[in-house]
A and B are shown apart, each in its own frame.
Chain A
Amino acid sequence: MSETKKNLNENQPRRSKSEKPGSLPYIWNYIKHNKSAMAGLFFLVGLFIISFLTPYIFKYNYRQVDVFLQYLKPCAAHPFGCDEVGRDLLVRVLYGAKYTLSIGLIATAGGGLTGILLGAISGYFGGKVDSIIMRCLDVFQSFPTILLAIAISAALGPGYWKLILACGIAGIPGYARMMRANTLTIRSSEYIEAATSINCPTPKIILKHVIPNAISPMIVLLSMGVANAALVASSLSFLGFGVVPPTPEWGVLLSSGRSYILQYPHMVVFPGLFIMLTVLSFNLIGDALRDALDPKLRN
């Protein structure tokens, strides 16, 4: 039977809110269908929750020392084994998740925000402001991020918040540079010209036009940045900067376990495995975000 053809005026399907590219519901919709990104998200959220609930789930406390259980290899009672003073490694690893996750997120949030503001200001105003900010960033970027983080961490001293500060500061140049590049592109767009031509005040232009439009590629950078910050934080702790024993941060666990690597490798395998899974999860989410926001893939 013949189908009634669609009404001429409705040849184009009407777009619901979640189909508007670039908007939050659209992004969420996209990610929901990406299996690996969802797996990563579940892992991270689950890990975060468990990390706070360890005292209620497990029999052993992360600080509980037991000389008789020293160096215990993985077994039924202790799935990850025990460390050099008999603490259950599973509990320590799970408890330690909160450090790596929170350091990664907070450092990136802080560093990202600062970097975005700096980049936007630098890109929008140009001239002397731009030159000064760029030269400063040049200096900060003339050696690898980790070394910068090490230097700052050494200057600040050990500690949780100091580590966050070090990782955050070390990440600023990257975000600032990208934001500046995006701002420069947007600044020469016609809609900015239009806004200035109707006397729109500058802060309003920056906040309402420049930043929202420059932010899409930043989202991907930020999500990768969390993974990177987590890695830098563990590396720093591994080397002895940042957080120190007995805090069960994963880098610290690796550092302590290293001395016994030849006889008791389990002390090294598990913390590192969790670092890898965490970074992997953030990378998967970041990849999915990039695909969701890619204009070319929207068609």
Chain B
Amino acid sequence: MIRYIAKRLLQMIPVLISVAILIFTIMYFVPGDPVQIILGDYFASPEQIAETRARLGLDKSFWEQLGTFLLGLTHLDFGKSYIYGNEVGPELLYRFPKTLALAGSSLVLIIIIGIPLGIWCALNAGKLIDRALMVVTLLLNSMPSFWLGLLLIILFTTELKLLPSTYTNSPKSFIMPVIACSASVLAAVSRQTRSSMLEVIRSDYVTTARSKGLSENAVIYKHVLPNALVPIITVCGTRLGVMIGGSTVIEAVFSIPGIGQYMVNAINSRDYPVVRGSILTVALTFSIIMLVMDLIYAFVDPRIKAQYARAKKRPDKA
């Protein structure tokens, strides 16, 4: 098992390098000249332009620039921001916790509310409250998270004057962003939990468990739920990506100084080092989360654990 983890971690390296190259290449072709943006509106002399160009290393060829970038990566140097001049690395380090807090809290909320809610709905399937909740989750699932964020601002900031609409140092300012970020995924996880449970409950081994005389609770929590978990984890995983991407948009809505906002602003101002650094950070985080998820699969289902133990190739994501 340890070997499997080590293998996955090693496999991440070429992937991340490829991501770096990919992002570098994409950014290279973004129209617009960073030099123009840095020097601003006023008339800049050709010397100034050339000098800034050379300073930023933009006069070198594509391959030279790529090489410099990759070399810098090997000692974790993401370069300096074109606009602000500061080192990208430390700035990422400062902003990362904010994004992590947003995405992390959303994930926790989804797990501690979404899954139990789904279980409860499955056990009360068909009743009025279940049908009502299904409608609610259906609506939430379709709601764009940034719109929900805006609606929350209208309700809690404008009308009720309870919560701040932009980032402050208090945890209060995180309440609305976390709700907005997690709501749609929470709804999806709830629904998946419910349908997964309902499907497993019809299995033969559940009838076997009942025929042994187990109480209904024991049947549900010891036989149904563990078997229902695998598709639920899958949904969590795929939606997690959506949520992390969505956190970028939420950061824009609530002006949270996280990595997402950093990146979006940088794209607009052609601040390439920042863009590359932020995307790489997100890619790394994402890959680690996917690995953790695969490990959770192995923990939950011994059949998957066996696959990992003897697998020569990396098993594909579902």
Contacts from A to B (Cβ < 8 Å): 134-135, 138-147, 150-152, 154-155, 157, 177, 180-181, 227, 231, 234-235, 238-241, 254, 258, 261-262, 265, 268-269, 272-273, 275-277, 279-280, 283-284
Contact = CB atoms under 8 A, between A and B. Distances in A.
A163 to B, nearest CB: 15
B42 to A, nearest CB: 24
A142 B150 contact: no
Given A138-B15, A227-B142, A150 B267 contact: yes
B174 to A, nearest CB: 19
Interface string B197-213: 00000000000000000
Contacts of A181: 316, 318
Interface string B138-162: 1101111011001101100110000
Nearest to A287: B138
A254 B146 CA distance: 9
Given A145-B245, A151-B27, A151-B275, 13 more contacts: A138-B15, A144-B286, A146-B248, A147-B245, A155-B29, A240-B268, A262-B157, A262-B158, A268-B150, A272-B147, A272-B150, A276-B142, A276-B144
Contacts of B283: 142-143
A144 B245 contact: yes
- Between B144, B158, B249, B286, the greatest number of chain A beta carbons within 10 A of the residue's beta carbon is seen for B144
A269 to B, nearest CB: 7
Nearest to A263: B158
B22 A239 contact: no
A-B interface, 9 closest residue pairs, ranked by CB to CB distance from nearest:
A144-B245, A146-B245, A272-B147, A280-B142, A279-B142, A139-B18, A144-B241, A143-B283, A265-B154
Contacts of A272: 143-144, 147, 150-151
Contact of A234 (B23, B141, B144): B144
Contacts of A155: 26-27, 29-30
A146 B253 contact: no
A276 to B, nearest CB: 5
Interface of B: 15-16, 18-19, 22-23, 26-27, 29-31, 138-139, 141-144, 146-147, 150-151, 153-154, 157-158, 165, 241-242, 244-246, 248-249, 252-253, 263-264, 267-268, 275, 279, 282-283, 286-287, 316-318
B84 to A, nearest CB: 19
Given A177-B316, A275-B144, A283-B142, A151 B264 contact: no
Contacts of A152: 26
